[in-house]
């Protein structure tokens, strides 16, 4: 097996990303447990959102974990599939939550449209990754360099559109919760969501323009990712310990 060595910056980025992803999986598990206990559809959807919306960071996290034990690198196909193949699940789940709560009358056509868009995305990804051996795969799908995946082509377009939709609908959802909330709990949930989605958007923008070999910014960005996950969790679940801290009955 070919042994690889990564720079210190890459290793720190990989370690922090792994922590963020494991944190996301842990909080998603807590949401799933509550969803099962309360049998609430919106909680199941939020479980899917919290788990799969952060899959673009999965290749870095699990690629680093694999490297720790083997000093080898995961295959190109694994990086691409792990990073994007499952993200439409989380995005569609979030759009379902948003439209059900804010725009129920136009939910069905918009949700169907985005589902079709996502199916086209999946077909494009799978075809060029596995069934078009002579195609310029890297220019059409993306490149992998030291645990970092840079998507291109239609994958990049889909990702950018999804980011804009999720972030702006998330912020709007939070603002509506704050303005229309008749309960203190709902208002606080809206505040936490507004913080979470805003940080998420800022983190994504900075992550796309800051080189991964700059150590300090990379550390800050990964910490912001962890904070984002935490605030989104608070915004949807608001666990009892936080209610007590906020003196919410």
- The residues, ordered by sequence, that sit 6+ positions from 26 with a Cβ below 8 Å of its Cβ are none
Those residues whose C-beta lies under 8 Å from the C-beta of residue 63, and which sit 6 or more positions away, are 14, 73, 74, 79, 147
At residue 233, the pLDDT reads 93
125: tokens are 């990804």
Give the global pTM: 0.88
DSSP letters of 83-148? IIITHHHHHHHHHHHHHHHH-GGGHHHHHHHHHHHHHHHHHHHHHHHHS-TTS-HHHHTEEEETTE
Q: What are the residues whose beta carbons fall under 8 Å from the beta carbon of 15, sequence distance 6 or more?
A: 64
- Residue 133 sits at φ, ψ, to 5 deg, of -60, -25
Total residues found in the chain within this entry: 249
Q: What is the predicted pLDDT for the residue at 89? A: 94
What CA–CA distance (Å, rounded) separates 105 from 110? Answer: 10
pLDDT by position in tens, the chain (length 249): 455 677 788 888 889 999 999 999 999 999 999 999 999 999 999 999 999 988 889 998 999 999 988 888 888 888 889 888 999 999 999 999 999 999 999 999 999 999 999 999 999 999 988 888 777 888 888 888 777 788 888 888 988 899 899 999 999 999 999 988 778 888 999 999 999 999 999 988 888 787 766 778 888 888 999 999 999 999 999 988 999 998 886
Structure confidence at residue 194 (pLDDT): 95
* 96's tokens: 């379902």
Query: Maximum CA pair distance of the chain?
Result: 63
* Cα–Cα nearest to 58, from 77, 78, 82: 82
- Per the listing, tokens 């890297």 go with 138
CATH entry, 8-245, from 1.20.1440, 3.50.50, 1.20.1070, 1.10.10:
1.20.1070
Q: Which helix (H) or strand (E) holds 170?
A: helix 153-180
Instruction: Tell me what pLDDT residue 10 has.
Output: 82
Nearest Cα to 49, choosing from 104, 86, 102? Answer: 86
């Amino acid at each position: 097996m070919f042994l690889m060595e990564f720079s210190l910056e890459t290793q720190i980025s990989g370690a922090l990303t792994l922590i963020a992803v494991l944190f996301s999986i842990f909080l998603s598990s807590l949401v799933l447990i509550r969803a099962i206990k309360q049998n609430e559809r919106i909680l199941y959807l939020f479980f899917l959102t919290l788990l799969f919306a952060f899959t673009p960071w999965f290749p870095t996290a699990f690629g680093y974990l694999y490297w720790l034990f083997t000093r080898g690198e995961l295959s190109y196909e694994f990086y691409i599939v792990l990073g994007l193949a499952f993200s439409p699940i989380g995005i569609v789940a979030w759009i379902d939550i948003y439209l059900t709560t804010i725009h129920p009358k136009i939910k069905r056509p918009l949700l169907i449209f985005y589902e079709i868009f996502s199916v086209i995305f999946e077909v494009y990804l799978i075809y060029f990754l596995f069934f078009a051996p002579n195609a310029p795969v890297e220019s059409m799908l993306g490149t992998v360099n030291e645990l970092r995946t840079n998507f291109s082509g239609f994958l990049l377009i889909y990702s950018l559109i999804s980011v804009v939709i999720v972030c702006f609908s998330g912020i709007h959802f939070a603002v509506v919760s704050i303005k229309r909330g008749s309960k203190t709990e709902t208002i606080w949930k809206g505040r936490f969501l507004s913080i979470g989605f805003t940080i998420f958007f800022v983190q994504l923008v900075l992550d796309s323009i800051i080189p991964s070999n700059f150590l300090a910014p990379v550390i800050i960005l990964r910490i912001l990712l962890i904070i984002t996950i935490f605030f989104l969790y608070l915004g949807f679940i608001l666990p009892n310990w936080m209610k007590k801290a906020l003196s919410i009955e």
